[in-house]
Amino acid sequence: MKKTFNLPRGTADILPEEAHRWQNLENTARKILARYGYQEIRTPIFEETELFTHSMGQTSDVVQKQMLTIKPQKAQDSNESTSFALRPEGTAAVVRSYIQNSLDKKENLSKLFYIGPMFRGERPQKGRLRQFNQIGVEAIGPESASPYLDAETIALSIDLLTAAGLKNSQLKINTIGTAEDKANFQTLLKRKLKPCLADLCEDCRDRFDRNVLRVLDCKNTSCKAVVKGLDITREWLSPESLRYFSTVKEALNALGIKYREAPDLVRGLDYYTQTVFEISDSSLGSQDALGAGGRYNNLVSELGGSAVDAVGFALGMERILLALEDETPAVSSVDLFIAALDETAIKLAFPILNELRRNGVAGEMGYRAASLKSQMRLANKLNARYVFILGEDEIKKGVVTIKNMATGDQKQESLTDPKKLAELLK
Tell me which residue of 178, 140, 169 sits closest to 300, measured CA to CA: 140
In the bound state with ligand AMP, the residue whose beta carbon lies nearer, of 88 and 418, is 88
Integer Cα distance of 234 and 147 in angstroms: 18
x/- string (CB under 6 A) for ligand AMP, residues 315-334? -x-xx---------------
Handedness of CA 47, 50, 53, 56 (dihedral sign): negative
The correct pick among 141, 147, 177, 291 for binding ligand AMP (CB under 6 A) is 291
- Nearest distance in Å: CB 269, ligand AMP: 8
Q: Does 113 bind ligand AMP (CB under 6 A)?
A: no
Instruction: Please enumerate in sequence order all residues whose Cβ is within 8 A of that of 39, keeping only pairs 6 or more positions apart, or say none.
Output: 111, 112, 113
The piece of 29-37, 105-113, 285-293, 357-365 that touches ligand AMP (CB under 6 A) is 285-293
Minimum Å gap between C-beta 221 and ligand AMP is 21
Q: What are 411's strand-pairing partners?
A: 402
> Which has the closest alpha carbon to 41: 99, 121, 2?
99
Q: How far apart are CA 342 and CA 349, in angstroms?
A: 10
Contact residue for ligand AMP among 68, 289, 322, 334 (CB under 6 A): 289
- Which residue in 52, 114, 132, 208 binds ligand AMP (CB under 6 A)? 132
122: Cα separation from own chain's centroid? 18
Shortest spacing between CB 388 and ligand AMP, in angstroms = 46
Q: What are phi and psi of 116, to 5 degrees?
A: 170, 180
Q: Which is nearer to ligand AMP, 112 or 389 (CB)?
A: 112
DSSP string, 89-155: -SHHHHHHHHHHTTHHHH-S-EEEEEEEEEE-----BTTB-SEEEEEEEEEESGGG-SHHHHHHHHH
Distance in angstroms (rounded) separating the CA atoms of residues 421 and 426: 9
Task: Confirm or reject binding of residue 216 to ligand AMP (CB under 6 A).
Answer: no
Binding test (CB under 6 A) with ligand AMP, winner from 237, 299, 314, 323: 314
Give the range of 48-56, 174-182, 231-239, 314-322 binding ligand AMP by CB under 6 A. 314-322
Q: Is 295 in the site for ligand AMP (CB under 6 A)?
A: no
How many residues bind ligand AMP (CB under 6 A)? The answer is 16
Nearer to ligand AMP, 314 or 361 (CB): 314
Site for ligand AMP in 243-272 (CB under 6 A): none
What Å distances lie between residue 9 and 6, 65, 87, 136, CA to CA? 8, 17, 18, 25
Is 172 a binder of ligand AMP (CB under 6 A)? no
CA pair distance 393, 374, nearest whole angstrom? 19
86 φ, ψ (degrees, to nearest 5):
-70, 140
Regarding 215 and contact with ligand AMP (CB under 6 A), the answer is no
Q: Which stretch binds ligand AMP (CB under 6 A): 125-133, 144-152, 185-193, 336-344?
A: 125-133
Closer residue to ligand AMP in complex, CB, 154/400 = 154
Please give the distance of CA 165 from its chain centroid, rounded to a whole number.
Answer: 15
Residue nearest to ligand AMP (CB): 316
Nearest CA to 289 out of 132, 85, 156, 155 is that of: 132
Per CB under 6 A, the segment of 24-32, 46-54, 226-234, 287-295 that binds ligand AMP is: 287-295
Question: By CB under 6 A, which span of 126-134, 330-338, 340-348, 353-361 interacts with ligand AMP?
Answer: 126-134
355 contacts ligand AMP (rule: CB under 6 A) = no
Number of H helices, E strands in the chain: 16, 16
Closest to ligand AMP by CB, 313 or 337 = 313
Which one among 18, 26, 48, 122 touches ligand AMP, defined by CB under 6 A?
Answer: 122
Residues within the interface to ligand AMP (CB under 6 A): 89, 120, 122, 127-129, 132, 134, 289-292, 314, 316, 318-319
